[in-house]
Chains A and B, each alone.
Chain A
């Protein structure tokens, strides 16, 4: 007769540092994305310390200068230092991207979980409204909102946030529908807890994995949308440094004579979105139990 010993000792808790190291080892591309995002965040939020020049100061003695030691990425048609404008532009991209993603994400989270929890008519109305908003591509919807409220940072954030809400709501709802049927939710209901408590304490924490993945991807989408709107002249306005606006101002007129005006902001947009997307993909893999052990 053999005896089976069940080891029910708890798994050793990993520190944050260990978790980060494990993530880096298992997700090299995600780590690369994370590095890009961190660089972008650091440069954006400490732009005053890093940028070599005032990003809005015209310098008519240095108009359309190619990259040099004085101006590492060259200057634009007003003689403004491109590197400084790209550094400050990271801040604009982050403010618009993060705000839109967070506001849109959390609004979608509340709507999605609430829709799943209450069901019935509430669910029907929220989902049909979501269908209407989602019938339009993100950029078209954002264009419509900007056309109504006008350009400017706040309006651009609103324009990008509105189409993100139903996208998040839809994904979160599908997870929340499963959570709603869990015994612990029934138990909470049986204990007489209110809807707010059940939603906030028992349902929301259990849909955080898909929610975080959505929000991460929203940041990239929002940065792209902001750049697109600015490129179309509907986003932030001169002289605010913004990557899409830099493309609009220089790309068309100086494409052949001063291509660096278009190239560097384009590269900045590409790297930022690439970094966020790689990081988002890695997060999904790390948080998904099916993919985690591969």
Chain B
């Protein structure tokens, strides 16, 4: 039988170390909503989402209450809308109307974000894909809860540089369209290489076409728990350190698995995956950067940071994999800047630059995330940043992403406040040399040689 010390350990993790289940995300396929009439399509989308996710929020809250574990977010991901809206949408305004439908559905069922206003263009864009991408500024400025993502490269297909060029422009346009909210629209827009089909985390969640009709994915968290556990092995060798991370990741993931199974059972929806990510929040003690500091670097960004992050990411996976029947999504350590107090401090202290963050993305689970840059950054420079990240993902066979926010009207060193889980960030300097001639070439970067495995 369980003893009082084990019970206390669990409750201490929850109460003092910010252990939580970050999100229960219901993936819903909208492929069966497709129609050539836009009104019919919008109506079917609204009805399918509100019917499938009717009990999602209430069920999440009940599970949370019964097990005493906070479940922070309840969210929905849907089939990439470029595929769903292709037959009905004749213009980018038509696509934006679908975004408004998603927003209405999200509000009706009470979820705080709905992801999947997305296009998968790793090898090329269909007219529908391009229309959806061009509708993103209107879609994100006209809605509150819709998240958008574009996958424009993969190890198998290479990088669609036309889409890279376009996304640089679209990110800037989205920033301008939401300038009265400190360009908040860009916080809900992610560009991917090797995007997973089952990611439960926003803003990049979508319900891939390889998935079933409806599925429950769960994202766990717990940087504070790992940080706290590592305090007990201060000064010990790397083997001891790694063992401690694995043990902690195992415990955290077991809770995620329990919540995922319960949610799946109660909602009568198949369980998909547990995403074992260390997802920080701006709350004190809920920081990945603080784990890196505990491992031994003075500030995130100091020499040694990339190695520390690499071992952290790997041990989290090794510990978590055994705790869950199916692991997927992004799984690893997230390193967003604005959502992590330790990262914010590192930027303020001059320890962390975009270039160092780029190096860190080679070994962590995602990419350049929630980074505020000056509003006068040229579109071609943003495209260059995207191309660099996509190349890292393509060559290393991993997911990489870019979520940068060019804050219109603000410059280096100024602060920008996004609010809530999105946090706040100092605006970081971007390399001022141009890559316009590179981005202007157009076409596609071919897949790397090691992608030919057949």
Decide whether A and B are members of one complex. no
**A residues apposed to B, CB below 8 Å:** none
B interface, CB within 8 angstroms of A: none
